[in-house]
Structure 1
Amino acid sequence: MVRSRPLWRLTAAERKVWEAYPSGSWVDLRTGDADRDDPAGGATWGRERTVRAELLTALLLGARPAAPGQVAGLRLAGARVVGTLNLSDATITTKLHLLNCHLSGTVALTDATTKGVRFRGCDVRRIRAARCTIDGLFELDSCTVRAGVRLDNAHITGQLRLARATLFAPDGTSAASESYKADARRAFGDAEKQERGWDQHHWALWAGGLTVDGGAFCRDLRSTGGLRLIGAKFNSGLYLQRAVIESTGGHAVYADHMQATSVEFSENFTAEGTVRLRGARVSGVLSFDQAKLSAQGRALHLSHMQVDELILRPASVRGEVNLGYSRVGVLLDDPRSYPGRVRLNGLVVESIRGNVPLSDRLAWLGRDPEGYRPQPYEHLAAWYRRIGHEQEARRVLLAKQRARRATIGVPGRLAGLLLDVVVGYGYRPWLAGVWFALLLTAGTVVFATHPPAQVGLDERRLFHAFPYTLDLLVPVSVFEQRGAWEPVGWTQWVAGILIASGWVLATALIAGGTRLLRPSTP
């Protein structure tokens, strides 16, 4: 432990920092040995590399003015910073830049207003920056933060950089954390508290209401604990390519009502836990290309969302996908890449890209855990018609009727099955022609070999099997053959079947053509 000293009794390392601050010069306390300079082992660094956080606080709050003609700034590399760097409620006009430093205490920027803050390759206990305003860059590239980052309702006018950073959620073992959890448990219960995203010790990044004017670059991020981004605004995009998020409480990403110009969960982005963007607004591309998603229950929750283009071609998905009641400008997906249950009711897509076989689309529509819903079928059929694919639209509507058939009673199922077999619910009227031709052929063969008897013997007539069979099949006698000839023996059953089949075919054609059996949209 390093004992606290009055600021006028500085160590050699602190004296260097004190003297360099007015000109903004770098103070480098590193040894040049990679192992000895690893900030993860900074707790063992000696006095020659130790700087008190209260000294840094004093300098940033104006203990020393800038040198004439110079821009003051705190630039420090390879230091062990002990104590809490408490800048809460402060207005800081100089930049803070730490490189490969070890900070054993909390960095507190709550309600602060500051210039750019850059920590690169540092090992930090915790960062608390709720409601702060950072005029410039906030960087944690290649840093390790042991007990979470808080940026709720913060405003960053530049970029947020978390590339190659490693974040851990608070362990929840402190007295304050236990008190908070007990209060929340009494008020809401564990399940509701977790669902609402209020259980803070499960979140490595707590950033609800965050606004980032520049891009948020979090590529190759590693997080043990979720990212809470409810209501966050990323005015130049959020980029999480190759990030790995391991949830400790159910949700890997919780970003309801988030707004962004583009969002990338792509290039082997991996989430163990639910990725939830319910009600999000993305004015550009939302991509899950080659993502790996896994959760108990719902892996991807994208309901009530609005997005210009959704790329949904993950490398693997274990869990349910929810796209219900979302509006998508362009959908580029492969339903086989997310083979589990998928909720589609209320989804509206203006255009679909990609060459997905219709059989895969129909299987996609049938995977809703709530069973048959008419809207997804009707919407997909309307899209096929819009692009001039009438045959595909008919196949979709036929699949809709078949799916509906499983939801109605036995009489309706039987009637529906008959209508399906005979004319394909009216979407395959040519089937009636096929049945008619088969029956006509069969009847002609039967009556040609076993001719009926003539009814009236006052005149001699010549029997022809083809027009006789045709007259039996037509519901209203056209050729006046029925009354002239009487089938005998077992051919009476054949004649009865032909007459009944004619009526069934005619009824099915009328019902299918006029959609008499088509259900009204709920």
Structure 2
Amino acid sequence: MPAVEDTLTAAETALAEAVVKGEWYDAGGEPVRGGLLRRMLLGGFAWPGGEPDPRGIRLRNAELRGGLDLSEVETRLPLHLVDCRTSEPVLLTGAHLSTVDLSGLVGNNVVAVEARFDRALLLMGARLRAGTADGVLNLAGASVGSVVDVSGAHLISTHPEAPAFHGNNLVTGAGVFLNRGFRAEGGGPLGTIRLSGARIGGQLNLGGAWLVNADGPTLVGDYLCTRSNLMLNQGFHAEGRHENGTLRLVGAEIGGRFAGEDGHAFAAEPRDLVLNLGQVRVAGTVQLPASFTPGLVQLDGLTYTGVPRRTELAEWLDLLAHRTSHYASQPYLQLAEAHRAAGNERDVRRIHLARQRDLLRRGHLPPGGRLWHRVAGLTVGYGYRPAVALVWWAGVVALSVLLVAGIAGPAGLAVHIGQSGRCTLVEQVGLALNTATPLVKTDMQQRCQLDAAGAGGVLVAASWVLQALAWAFVTLFVAGFTGLVRKPG
């Protein structure tokens, strides 16, 4: 077979010379064969005037004729193909490479399934559009020693089931950057960006990204793990359509903070989830303002450190009560624990009251339990406002005084025991207090009583009802004060 270098074009010859010198070569739009680049990296190329410089191949502004197939290639030479274009795929599947820089690439797709990159993988500002089942940028199962930087790139998938960015089980030593004007479209029902099972050694940054999927979720990161922050901020925008969430991160572990300030996400159908953070663990704080989405969210199992930021407590409680798909106690308990750790005891009570109201409104309670829940809420604020029971008890005392001194006394039905004559006003008030104060008794009951004859019988029966209510409210106060009526779920 004749050596490829025997038939080099002028641009290819200049490239070979630049590689030996460790310099950049600008092809000025001239074609360079992808097969030649493969031969250079395999080590069988006859370099002019020496060996290739360790800085590797550094080519700018070239047409990659015939695409680039580096499948299964192993090399230590860095590869920089900046601002190049091709009408064929770039295939890196199974390759073991050093740094690969495809920034500014204009073409269809880059497939690097289970490839290994010892250093960085860069596609900053790339413009890729593809309609194949492999997707647009396919890094499934790949390993990258440093960063994956696709900031500013536009990835558009026209295949009904292929993602724009496929990163399931991707492993990186540093961050993944899909920010600063990054745009991804398409992907179908399985998602525009797929990062399920990925292990990211730094932050996952989608700040300012624009994600659109008319037929499915825009980000699927089930059991994703990041060592640092998850950034959905700085103008982040997502539009999708899926019942389990436009953004789905079930079971993910975020090693830093969850940042959603100035971000926005939407679902095409009002009944669909927008943000699914079920069972997500965030090592840092959660910054999720109410403006992030007007739609439904799933927060059951979400844990985090500190009080949620960039949102007021009232907004967070409204989110839990009215923009979650069902009642769950865990989000309230997590929020209460965060405020308790911050020393906000008044807010803790406020959160628990909101939780109990939500339980009454949407929770699963038996009929008897629902009735008791209503009573506990009205009388002692579910155990978090026991003083309310004292207010009710004070009302019973007032009614008792009105009954005895305001009705029975003027009607001549409050009489002395064993003596003739009516009870004095002081004696009538004392009798009323005996009825309405279960734990405090005066001797008025031995000196004065209600005449049960005739209409007085009705008043006697009413006094018994008031006495029962007094006992009930005092008991509820004690139970609420000691926490006996508080429920954890």
Q: Same fold (TM over 0.5)?
A: yes
SS at match of 2:305: strand
Give the 5 Å matches for 1:249-260. 249-260=215-226
Deviations along 1:345-368, whole A, 9 cap, x unmatched?
A: xxxxxxxxx6524xx454344337
Deviation of 1:487 (Å):
6.5
Relative distance call for 1:66 and 1:433 in structure 2 (3 A) is farther
Q: Do the aligned partners of 2:92 and 2:112 also contact (CA within 8 Å) in 1?
A: yes
Q: Which amino acid aligns with 1:91?
A: E
- Match among 149, 155, 168 for residue 167 of structure 1: 155
Deviation of 1:327 (Å):
2.4
Q: Do the aligned partners of 1:425 and 1:512 also contact (CA within 8 Å) in 2?
A: no
Deviation of 1:83 (Å):
0.5
Relative distance call for 1:473 and 1:241 in structure 2 (3 A) is same
Partner Cα distance (1:243, 1:472) in 2: 70
Match of 1:281 in 2: 253
- Match among 216, 221, 240 for residue 206 of structure 2: 240
Relative distance call for 1:324 and 1:254 in structure 2 (3 A) is same
TM-score, structure 1 normalization: 0.76
Match of 2:262 in 1: 290
Q: Which amino acid aligns with 1:230?
A: S
Give the 5 Å matches for 1:101-250. 101-147=84-130, 148-169=136-157, 171=159, 199=161, 201=162, 203-219=163-179, 220-225=181-186, 226-250=192-216
SS at match of 2:216: strand
TM-score, structure 2 normalization: 0.81
Q: Do the aligned partners of 2:390 and 2:477 also contact (CA within 8 Å) in 1?
A: no
Give the 5 Å matches for 1:471-510. 471-474=434-437, 478=442, 479-480=444-445, 484-486=449-451, 493-510=458-475
SS at match of 1:104: coil
Deviations along 1:358-414, whole A, 9 cap, x unmatched?
A: xx4543443375654445555555555555555544444444444444554555555
Q: Which amino acid aligns with 1:89?
A: E
Match of 1:366 in 2: 321
Aligned length in residues: 452
SS at match of 2:94: coil
Partner Cα distance (2:400, 2:111) in 1: 84
Partner Cα distance (1:259, 1:266) in 2: 19
- Match among 463, 466, 482 for residue 429 of structure 2: 466
Deviation of 1:61 (Å):
2.1
- Match among 81, 88, 92 for residue 98 of structure 1: 81
Q: Which amino acid aligns with 1:324?
A: D
Is residue 2:75 matched to residue 1:77? no
Match of 1:56 in 2: 37
Relative distance call for 1:387 and 1:513 in structure 2 (3 A) is farther
Q: Do the aligned partners of 1:216 and 1:237 also contact (CA within 8 Å) in 2?
A: yes
Relative distance call for 1:162 and 1:324 in structure 2 (3 A) is same
Deviations along 1:172-212, whole A, 9 cap, x unmatched?
A: 5xxxxxxxxxxxxxxxxxxxxxxxxxx4x1x1111111122
Partner Cα distance (1:270, 1:521) in 2: 37
Relative distance call for 1:291 and 1:383 in structure 2 (3 A) is closer
Deviation of 1:494 (Å):
4.6
Relative distance call for 1:372 and 1:481 in structure 2 (3 A) is farther
Relative distance call for 1:314 and 1:204 in structure 2 (3 A) is farther
Name structure 1 gaps, 5 residues minimum. Answer: 31-44, 173-198, 335-353
Relative distance call for 1:493 and 1:393 in structure 2 (3 A) is farther
Partner Cα distance (2:262, 2:37) in 1: 44
Q: Which amino acid aligns with 2:17?
A: E
Percent identical residues: 25
SS at match of 2:213: strand
Partner Cα distance (2:455, 2:148) in 1: 87
Relative distance call for 1:77 and 1:475 in structure 2 (3 A) is closer
Name structure 2 gaps, 5 residues minimum. Answer: 131-135, 187-191, 241-245
Deviation of 1:415 (Å):
5.0
